[in-house]
Structure formats: C-alpha cells, structure tokens
Structure 1
Amino acid sequence: MKNLKNRALLLTATAGVMLALTGCSTASDKPADTTTAAAENTPEAVQITVPDASEIFPKTAVTLKNATSVTLSGDMSRGTESVKMKLSGNKDGSNTKANITMKDGTLELLSIDGANYLKADKKFLAKTAGKEAAGMLATMVGDKWISVKDASQFGNFNLGSLLDNLGTDSMMSVEAPKVTAKSVENLNGVKTFKYVGNETDFWIAAEGEPYLLKIEATGPASAGSGNMMFSDWNAVAPHKTPATAEVISIPGL
C-alpha cells in the first residue's frame, strides 16, 4: 500500500485550512467600540455589558490551555482545498475521533491509547490508491476498520495542536487588538459575546466559563474562509475501541 500512503500525505494540507481561521490577518486601525447588549431590545439583555476583548480573551486562552477534551465541527476552504470535519476527544490525543469530508472522499480516523483505525469510502480509496487497489481494498475491508500504524499519514488533525495555536499568544497579543466591535448574540440557543475582528470573528460563552464557541473567517477567500464550532468542552464521552472482529490489518499500513 505504498501508493496509498504517499498520496495520503497530501491531506496534511488540511491542517493549513484549519489554521487559516485562527487569526492570520493584519492589524486594524479601527478603534473597538463599547457596544452593549441593549441592541437586543430585551430587559434582560440591557443589563449585560460586553467586556473588552483585552479582558475576556486572556480568560478564554486559559480555558483553551486547561481544556481536557472538546468537539470541533468545521467547514473550511482555502485555495483549492476544502474540508468539512468533526473532531472530538481528548486534547492529549489519547482518545480521539475525526470525520473528514473532502472533494476526494470521506474518511474516519479513530485513535485510542496509541492504536489507530481508519474507515474510508471508495472515492477516497480510488483517489489515494487507484481504482484497482480501491476495489480490492473495498472487497477486503467491507464495513470493518483498517488498523493503521501511523494515523498522521492521513493528515494532521490534532486537537491539542489546534487549541495551542488558538491559545494565549494568539488571543491576547494578536487577536484582541484587532477587535473593532462587540455585542451579545444568541448562538444556537446559547448567549454569547461576539467580537468582530479585522478578518476573524469570535463567539465566546457569555455565561459560566468563557469558552470559545465559534470562529469565523471574514477576510478574503484566498486567505481562508469558513467557520469552526466548539462544544462539549471537558465533557466528550470516550470513544470505544472496535471489537477484534471489526478490525482488519493490511500490510503496509
């Protein structure tokens, strides 16, 4: 399966798509306003004052640093690369699951205590291994998981690395100074503080811990577009190891 491994390395470009949303814009000259929740026109909202980015971003950075698990759902593109993904599990990578959909197919990666497992559709297998090999693999594998020695060959979908890139240095010294507006916004039924940056918008939980709930790129498409949603902070249920009968090993993987 050497051909499969070599072609699959191309998927590492998706890491760049993910990081395109972490705030790579230039600084803004616009001053941040002092908008409050009064714009929502409700008695409850009027009582809420949106904190400055310089005040809440450092606190959010701490939640990123201290997080043990999270679920991330993203729909992103940059240049010719595009990807829809859902990543969930532990920040340290000991128990994670990734569901990836690209123009070249879909794949599912499961990593538990150092063991890695892969499922992929025929389109992905055909693109990465060729039609003949894809047909052979599909026949051999069926609905089973493929045991994989090194999951990184299929892309860098590390939750810990992503959160680190969104961490203290980025949010405090890079992103906070770029905020030009702020408000209270309902995000899927959750009250959030929204911060509008030069090329990136942020939604942070307005109640309880200031968890990061959404990032959206608003700059030129060439720099990266799309959004990432965050949920289940420190509450992701552990993924289960597939039963032995559900796993197949393929030489070369």
Structure 2
Amino acid sequence: MRRHARHTTFTALFLAAVATASLTGCQSGQDDTGGTDAASTGSAPPSAEPFAGLSAAEISERAFEATTGARSLRMTGDVPDEESGGTIRIDLALDRKGECAGTMSMNGQGEAELIKTGDTVYLKYDERFLRAQSEGQPQADTEALVSLLAGRWTKMSATGPDAKDMTTFCDLDTMLDGAHDGGDGEPTVTRGKATTVDGTPAITLRETDGPDRSTLYIASEGEPYLLRYEDESETGAGALTFGDYDEPVPADAPTGDVIDLDTMNGLDA
C-alpha cells in the first residue's frame, strides 16, 4: 500500500538526516539559529483551498513526491545523537551535486563551519568546539590543537577516508534515497489546522504508527514541500525545518590562509 508507506518514508528522511549528522557530529558544528520555533501556533491567512478533495494520506503522498524531487534544500534544527545521548544542531544547505555549506554543533558546545565544493571539504572550528572535542586529552595537546586550528579554515580531500562521513552528509541524493527505504506500515494520518512555517502558509498532518508519532508541516502555496518534521516519539524526539528548495547552495571555497590537513600527520580534530 504505497500511500500508507509515506509515513515511514518521511520518517526515513528525518532518520537519514539524524544518522548522517551523528556520523559527522564529532568533526563539525552549528550556530543557535535552529528552527525550533519555526512553526507558528497561529492560523494562516485565508487562501484558496490547495488540497480540496484530498485525504490526509494523499496530501502526504504529494508532499513526499515534491520533496524528494528537489534539486537542493536547506535543513535546520536539532536531532538526537544516539552515541553521546546529546543533541546535534544543524544548519546545512545541500544539493544533488554533493555541494554543501553550513554549521553544526554538539550539545551547544561551540560550532564548526562546513563547506564541501568539488573534491575538497573545508572545516573551521571555534575554540569552544575544539576544547569540548578534546575532553580527556592531555592539556598540552589540547592547547596545541586550539592554538593551531581555532578560527582557521582547514581543508582535506573529499575522497580521503577522513572525509567519507562528511561527503555522505553533503549528498542530497544519498539522503533522499534513504527516504525511499520506508517500510510497509499503515499509520493513521489525520489533517490538522492551517498554520505558517517561517511565514509560509502550511497545513499540518499528524501521523501515528504504534509508539511512533510525528507532525508534518506541508506548504499550502506553490509546491507542496515538507517545511517541517517533528518527531514526537519518546525514543527519538527531534525536529527539522526544511526550506530554500531548489536554491543555489552557497558553497564557495574560503579564501586566504587555509591549513591543508592532508599534509599533516597525527592531527585529528
């Protein structure tokens, strides 16, 4: 039943973002502009009914097709990190060419900027991030690391083993492929009220599948893109806001002094 599988595929999209963020979380970070308050609790302005005659499941189907057909998008928000039990905050734009640009943080402890363009990955860590990631290491090693890397751009080959997780994270094709891995569950899908997400009119869909509960915010003007996903399950609570669909990714290589990590031995941020 293809229509009923849409719940699990939207969940798979969220979980793909969670998994890839977790893979790169020990290497990169983000600012505090995540979209935790992106969805307004007020009603959207009156407009023509964009989904007249469609069931909630059919609306979800249309949103899935539009979202997985995007050439690029930006996602912001907080996702759980199973390894540390903490939270990863991401703000990342990515496209199907494998280009990406954005920031990530672990448990609010500093941030790292990430750019991938062509065959090169660029990273810049702030001091707080480096110190948090160096916890438990000898003080002298930590101070040397901070002195060398804090606030400075670094680069490495995107094809090298150290960049593998990050290049996967930057590939929208890989993430959207994960959204097609949903199972054959038959969740309950109900339509909620009209609202807005960052000023864009939207409708809410509430989906329940056993212990799993989530809320989707679907654009009700233009393409029916997924604007926000809220995982309300006890074991995986988190939320991501999606936007900037089909917009160019600002993945410009940094200028000036850049440290080439591929030429250095024994350095692991």
Fold-level similarity (TM above 0.5): yes
Identify the residue that residue 259 of structure 2 maps to in structure 1: 248
After superposition, where does 1:187-206 map in structure 2 within 5 Å? 187-198=197-208, 199-206=213-220
| Paired letter, 1:239 | A
Judging changes above 3 Å, is the alpha-carbon distance between structure 1 residues 230 and 197 closer, same or farther for their aligned structure 2 residues? same
Q: 171, 174, 182: which one pairs with 2:192? A: 182
1:137 aligns with 2:145: yes
SS of 1:179's partner is: strand
Q: What are structure 2's unaligned runs of at least 5 residues?
A: 1-15, 23-41
CA distance in 2, matches of 1:90, 1:14: 14
The match for 2:101 is 97
Change beyond 3 A, Cα 1:96–1:44? closer
> In structure 2, do the counterparts of structure 1 residues 124 and 15 end up closer, same or farther at CA, with 3 Å as the change threshold?
same
The question of 1:124 aligning with 2:136 is answered: no
Seq. identity, %: 25
In the alignment, residue 166 of structure 1 is paired with which amino acid? A
What is the CA-CA distance between 1:121 and the residue it aligns to? 2.2
Decide whether the 8 Å contact of 1:14 with 1:81 is kept in 2.
no
For 2:103, give the aligned amino acid. Answer: N
Gaps of 5+ in 1: 1-12, 20-38
**Residues 96 and 158 of structure 1: CA distance in aligned 2, closer, same or farther (over 3 Å):** closer
| Aligned equivalents of 1:14, 1:40: Cα separation in 2 | 29
Letter of the 1:61 counterpart: F
SS of match in other structure, 1:125: helix
Q: Which has the larger radius of gyration?
A: 1
Deviates more, 1:73-82 or 1:40-49: 40-49
Which of 79, 82, 85 does residue 90 from structure 2 map onto? 85
- Aligned amino acid, residue 114 of structure 1: D
Aligned length: 215
Identify the residue that residue 229 of structure 2 maps to in structure 1: 215
2:59 maps to: 56
Note if contact 2:95-2:249 (Cα within 8 Å) is conserved in structure 1. Answer: no
With over 3 angstroms needed to count, the CA separation of the structure-2 counterparts of 1:127 and 1:49, relative to structure 1, is same
| Alignment partner, residue 236 of structure 1 | 248
RMSD: 3.3
Aligned match for 1:112, one of 77, 99, 117: 117
Structure 1 consecutive aligned stretches of length 4 or more whose deviation exceeds 6 Å: 45-48
Q: Name the CA distance, whole Å, in 1 between partners of 2:80 and 2:123.
A: 23
Query: CA 1:206 to 1:124, structure 2 compared with 1: closer, same or farther past 3 Å?
Result: same
| Candidates 153, 164, 170, aligned match of 2:177 | 164
Q: Which has the higher helix share?
A: 1
